[in-house]
Amino acid sequence: MGIPVFNSDDHAKLFYIQKEEDLSELREFFGSGVFKEGMVDKKALASIVFNDKSALARLNSIIHPWVKKQFVNWSALQKSDFVIREAAILIESNSYLDCQSIIHVSAPKELRIMRTQKRNSWTRAEVLARMDKQLSEEERLKYCDFEILNDDQLMVIPQIEGVLCQLRKK
């Protein structure tokens, strides 16, 4: 709809493909076992962080500031009245603090699991391990100004248009 969208997850993935010397903080904390042929072995890293809360917190403390810097640089280049910052863990990463409004796109849990399995070729257990590290829908909604239901039943575009209309009035 002509509004620039910054996908935080896509930018977080770019973090992992930097030159190895730019990932020194990652190597320093997690060791060389999370590297394979000079690249981050995301499966090895995931097996650590999704089984150790403090390791996940440390990884987030490395990645989130980097993604925030990417967002600031990207948004400065946009020529729009507003931009959208898409993030699966907007609240958990405290990225919501930089936002003027928060839109939550929700779907039933089983549908989210199925979509994530299909998109990432993950097992159900892998999806649930990641979901368990995120806020519940109920908790997340406490931070949100708008909700869009993407359940394959309601039409999504009219919901988006309604939210955008309200945002433009602000």
Can you give the residue ranges of every domain in the chain? 1-99, 100-170
Superfamily of domain 1-99 in the CATH hierarchy: P-loop containing nucleotide triphosphate hydrolases (3.40.50.300)
Instruction: DSSP for 11-67, please give it.
Output: HHHHHTTS-GGGGHHHHHHH-GGGEETTEE-HHHHHHHHTS-HHHHHHHHHHHHHHH
pLDDT at res. 50? 84
CA distances from 104 to 41, 75, 90, 101 (A): 31, 20, 10, 10
Q: Give me the pLDDT at residue 66, please.
A: 92
Measured between its terminal Cα atoms, the distance across the chain in Å is 18
Residue with the two structure tokens 């939550």: 104
List per-block mean pLDDT (blocks of 10 residues) for the chain, which spans 170 residues: 93 86 87 88 90 91 93 95 92 92 95 95 92 90 96 95 91
Token pair recorded at residue 3: 């509004």
Q: What is the helix (H) or strand (E) element at residue 141, kind and residue range? A: helix 137-141
